[in-house]
Amino acid sequence: MADHIFTGSGVALITPMHSDGSVNYSALGDLLEFHVQNQTDAIIVCGTTGEAATLSEKEHLEVLEFTTEKINGRIPVIAGTGSNDTAFAVMLSKEAQKYGVNALLTVTPYYNKTSQAGLVKHFNVIADAVDLPIILYNVPSRTGCNIMPKTYAELCKHPNIVAAKEASGDISQVALIRSLCGDKLDIYSGNDDQTVPFMSLGALGVISVFANICPKEMHDICQLCLENDFAAAQKLHFHYIELMNIMFSDVNPIPVKTAMNLFGFDAGECRLPLVPMSVAAYHNLKDCLAKYDLLDKYVK
């Protein structure tokens, strides 16, 4: 496959909120500019980290439209349009295409789940409905549904299904996917702390929570891997591993939105049922950010 949606670090972008819970578009615009200026390689909007599960249909589409207009082709924009309702995923995907996004991120069906045969049917119906490249999103810890390697091999026969965000955490599975699919399916790590090992197996980058707070640092790690300088990438990876991990000290995106607020980005709180961190967890996070000198770097 000659063309790729992106290589390097794609940020799984938070959705900033006002105190009343509405989307804060001024803050969203500031974040988008922050990422363009700090070498983020792609914007992934309305995904798990963007709280897509609690955005209304209207909000979801408005965030997609705002993002594509603000980015204006400077870097790729990938729209989260997955659903456990195939018809709803098709509708979101068609609407996202109208706004000029570069690609779609479609998660496996959750709650009702499905069989492997159901996954093939679900994703092919979505892929048939649009003329955009699709990244399959496999996150069994959230959905209870795992895309098996042989299923990937079947899915990548569709010309629009070109990549996977693999957040299964199973490096052996990634190796088997690469073996079965080869260049027909690009892979992006779905876990920050597995980016370097995934890229050593041929992944093209990461869709990253950590990149919300350290966009250039995540870009640099990926770039070193793309240049086959895994020794240097490993060194950076080890340096930032504590910071990567503390972003998951509570349910994503609670810690990362808390960090962005500490940086002065007006991210707001998460929508219910997600609630603020405990006092102890908040102070642990703040201490970790201070350890990396991030509070002095970003606070406005």
Residues with a catalytic annotation lie at 137, 165
DSSP per-residue codes, 37-54:
HTT--EEEESSTTTTGGG
- For the chain, the residue count is 300
Q: Is 181 helix (H, G, I), strand (E, B) or coil?
A: helix
Q: The tokens of 234 are what?
A: 């490993």
Burial class (CB in 10 A: 0-12, 13-18, 19+), 138: buried
- Rounded to the nearest angstrom, the gap between the alpha carbon of residue 261 and the centroid of all alpha carbons in its chain is 20
Three-state DSSP at 28 gives helix
Q: Are 268 and 18 in contact (CB under 8 A)?
A: yes
> Phi and psi at residue 120, in whole multiples of 5°?
-60, -45
Mention every residue, 6+ apart, whose C-beta is less than 8 A from residue 99: 61, 64, 65, 68, 69, 79
- Across-strand partners of 161? 134
Nearest one of 175, 253, 171, 170 to 208, comparing CA atoms = 253
Phi and psi at residue 70, in whole multiples of 5°? -70, -45
| Residue 23: DSSP 8-state | B
Contact call for residues 199 and 189 (beta carbons, < 8 A): yes
The angle at the Cα of 136, spanning 260 to 267, to the nearest 5 degrees, equals: 15
